[in-house]
Amino acid sequence: MNAHPPGLRLGVDENGLGPRLGPMIVTGALIAVSSDWERFVSAARSVGIGDSKGLCAHGAMREVEATVLAVLDVHLGLRPSTFAELFEALNLDGDAFLRALCPDGEAPRMCFDADVALPAFGGAPDDRHRDGARALRDAGGLVRSVRFTSVCNRRLNVERAHGRSRFDVDLSRMLDLVRALRVDAGGSVTAVCGKVGGRKRYGDALAALSPLVAVEEEIASRSAYRVPGVGSVTFLQDADESDPVVGLASLVGKYVRELSMLRIHLDLRAHVPELGAASGYHDPVTTRYIAATALVRRERRIPDDCFER
């Protein structure tokens, strides 16, 4: 029996679970795989789809940007010229939801207003990138849909105050994407999600999708379920490395998170011209960045819980 039969495959992963600054991005990709799985995997690797942590880093996004933009163009006909256009095309949530917790003051301007032209990191796709995207399609992998959700720091902080960890929010948003992409698919899917922390059991959470979840396996590296009305749902350790559908979702998510950080940085740099960029993670540069923007954030009435987790 083929462990990876042709069909609709859905991959979901998060980016930005642990930083101090910037949103958590959870992304899903839906791909119709019509060929031999190994052929598709080989084509995806040749295009550069894989573990986003290994393929891209803050300040080194050029190749990933070109790859993502080429795939969106060739497979979905999307050619966004700005981050705002990309955000509107792919974001799962409406503007009202994204701004629901925004305070008075200039925090919404920091998060939404700076205009970011694409490509933002020098990654204009050329013939090589588009040929790679076509090769993925020719190998039997047609991208049908890509969606993401952006969870701001204020929302994460509010959820934590109500007893829900960032891992809980991550899992909840993963399931929202599974639900939405299952609708886009119009039929049962084979869904693979990155594992959430060290969690082994997901059956109770999956009950939000169906009350009759069947457990197939629950071990440290893999937790697998049958979910009526959805299909199979597996949570896999290091899924972005082994499953190219998850890998594509992870690449898009990393790109969107870096664009989100850039938009925040451009807004702050307009008030602190000498401000250098920071990754937002737990490092000395980010610590200095937080200190360097403290005064202007206070003057602009940007609460700490909007800026930092």
Confirm if 239 and 3 have CB atoms less than 8 A apart: no
Instruction: List the chain domain ranges.
Output: 7-307
pLDDT mean across residues, the chain: 94
Label residue 35 by pLDDT band (50, 70, 90): confident
DSSP secondary structure, 198-261, as one string? T----HHHHTTT-S--EEEEE-SSEEEEEETTTEEEEEETTHHHH-HHHHHHHHHHHHHHHHHH
Q: Tell me what pLDDT residue 1 has.
A: 45
The string of pLDDT tens digits covering residues 184-243 is: 999 999 999 999 988 999 999 999 999 999 999 999 999 999 999 999 999 999 999 999
Closest CA to 27 of 223, 137, 178: 178
Q: pLDDT tens-digit profile of 272-307?
A: 999 999 999 999 999 999 999 999 999 999 999 999
pLDDT for residue 160: 97
- CATH level 2 (architecture), domain 7-307: 2-Layer Sandwich (3.30)
Lowest mean pLDDT among 37-46, 248-257, 258-267, 278-287: 37-46
Pick 70 or 49 by higher pLDDT: 70
Total residues belonging to the chain: 309
